[in-house]
């Protein structure tokens, strides 16, 4: 079997509500849907991240560049294809951006591999350890804390056990949000908060000490991704377990996090690691270190969610609730769409990733991209606040 074509469809997916986070607000996301075609008539689906990349044109150019290295080769030889792109393609030296792009092609190759054998990717990764994994409930960031509390109540009613909020926006607001969330969901549910690199080490320790009475499961990425010692400082002095996400970008960084004792939990995904296979390998590093790992997600597509769930359902140390944002989109462009009602997500049943494109929805989102352009994750960031790290 040989790859004959790699095509990219740029889409902008509108959110059901405006999202507020440490870097501003966003009302949608731009993504790149990848289709890998073969001479056997099997097409694999994947997705590359655009919203956190340089811009859509750059991502498409990088997809095309990587495609040149794999066209004419067997899509089922995933380890060899990855080595070719990292080596001959020169991407070993630019791994963060490489992962965002290559993961889309690589997950499409896993989809082809599964379809060619009539097996799910879960089965190809060693088989299921569990039939489903817990999902967190994202209480979207807003200046209206009453609305956030009401939405959190809905999450409790829908059966979720773990709740997630964005902080790093304003200190008084952050403390009040966490206080209100704990009062709303009660002591029997888990609560986690994500600062998205917003604080210096000293600020992080001060705010974490204010948040400690509200029994957070963890504070996610309190300081800049580049300073692992800062993460360790917050872990030792803040009084709250620390989770690394941006700092966990790639297996080499994860190894350093482990060696420095800089986190209690790891959050990562196929895009940060460079594909499904790399994600599985990274989980093994965490398992050896005795650390739980959580599926991070750049967006709510069922293509990406099933790629992550294939790893989570076949790997021992996915013990905590995983990120999911299904409520953020009005309609998924893959079917069947992942469901997390009741606070759990079922393992993909295949073949391959177990989803197909809904061309009607995909075409609508492609039209929105053509009409409205690029929806970048940081488009509405306030420049005066975006020092690195924030003061």
Q: For the chain, which residues make up each domain, given as ranges?
A: 3-118+358-385, 122-354
- Residue 182: CB atoms within 10 A of its CB come to 19
pLDDT for residue 224 is more than 60: yes
pLDDT for residue 292 is more than 50: yes
For the record, the structure tokens of 305 come out as 């969610």
Tell me how far apart the alpha carbons of residues 45 and 30 are, in angstroms, rounded to a whole number. 17
Please tell me the class of the 122-354 domain. alpha beta
Q: Which residues, other chains included, contact 174 with Cβ-Cβ below 8 Å and sequence gap of 6+?
A: 167, 168, 193, 195, 207, 211
Identical fold, 3-118+358-385 and 122-354: no
pLDDT for residue 15 is more than 60: yes
Mean of pLDDT over the chain: 94
User: Per-residue pLDDT averaged across 107-134, rounded?
Assistant: 97
pTM of the model: 0.94
Using a pLDDT cut of 70, give the percent of the chain over it: 97
Please state which of the ranges 51-55, 67-71, 147-151 shows the lowest mean pLDDT. 51-55
> Does the bond joining 389 to the residue before it have cis omega, within 30 degrees of 0?
yes
pLDDT for residue 130 is more than 70: yes
Using a pLDDT cut of 90, give the percent of the chain over it: 86
Please state which of the ranges 6-20, 107-121, 371-385 shows the lowest mean pLDDT. 371-385
Domain covering 3-118+358-385: architecture = 2-Layer Sandwich (3.30)
Please state which of the ranges 29-43, 214-228, 336-350 shows the lowest mean pLDDT. 336-350
**Residue 325 — pLDDT band, cuts 50, 70, 90?**
confident
Per-residue pLDDT at 23: 87
Residue pair 200/389 in contact by the 8 Å Cβ criterion:
yes
pLDDT for residue 275 is more than 50: yes
**Residue 365 — pLDDT band, cuts 50, 70, 90?**
very high
User: Per-residue pLDDT averaged across 302-316, rounded?
Assistant: 97
pLDDT for residue 391 is more than 70: no
């Amino acid at each position: 079997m040989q790859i004959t074509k790699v095509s990219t469809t740029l889409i902008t997916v509108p959110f059901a509500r405006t999202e507020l986070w440490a870097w501003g607000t966003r009302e949608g996301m731009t993504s790149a849907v990848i289709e890998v075609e073969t001479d056997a008539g099997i097409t694999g689906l994947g997705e590359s991240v655009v919203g956190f990349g340089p811009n859509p044109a750059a991502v498409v150019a990088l997809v095309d560049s990587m495609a040149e290295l794999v066209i004419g080769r067997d899509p089922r030889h995933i380890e060899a294809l990855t080595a070719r792109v990292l080596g001959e393609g020169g991407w070993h030296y630019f791994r963060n951006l490489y992962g965002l792009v290559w993961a889309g092609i690589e997950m499409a190759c896993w989809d082809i591999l599964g379809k060619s054998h009539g097996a799910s990717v879960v089965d190809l990764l060693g088989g299921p350890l569990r039939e489903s994994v817990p999902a967190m409930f994202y209480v979207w960031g807003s200046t209206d804390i009453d609305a956030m509390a009401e939405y959190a109540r809905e999450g409790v009613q829908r059966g979720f056990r773990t709740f997630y909020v964005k902080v790093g926006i304003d200190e008084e607001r952050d403390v009040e949000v966490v206080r209100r969330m704990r009062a709303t969901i009660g002591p029997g549910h888990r609560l986690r908060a994500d600062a998205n690199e917003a604080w210096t080490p000293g600020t992080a320790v001060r705010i974490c000490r204010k948040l400690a009475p509200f029994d957070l499961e963890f504070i996610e990425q309190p300081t800049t991704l580049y300073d692992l010692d800062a993460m360790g400082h917050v872990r030792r002095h803040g009084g709250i377990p620390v989770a690394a996400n941006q700092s966990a970008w790639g297996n080499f960084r994860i190894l350093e996090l482990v060696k420095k004792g800089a986190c209690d939990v790891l959050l990562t995904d196929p895009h940060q690691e460079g594909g499904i296979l790399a994600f599985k390998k990274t989980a093994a590093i965490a398992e050896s270190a005795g650390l739980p790992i959580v599926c991070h997600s750049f967006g709510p597509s069922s293509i990406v969610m099933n790629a992550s769930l294939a790893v989570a359902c076949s790997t021992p140390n996915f013990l905590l609730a995983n990120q999911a944002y299904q409520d953020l989109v009005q309609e998924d462009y893959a079917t069947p769409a992942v469901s997390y009602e009741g606070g759990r997500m079922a393992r993909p049943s295949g073949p391959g990733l177990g989803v197909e494109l809904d061309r009607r929805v995909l075409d609508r989102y492609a039209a929105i991209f053509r009409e409205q352009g690029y929806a970048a994750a940081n488009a509405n960031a306030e420049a005066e606040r975006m020092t690195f790290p924030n003061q």
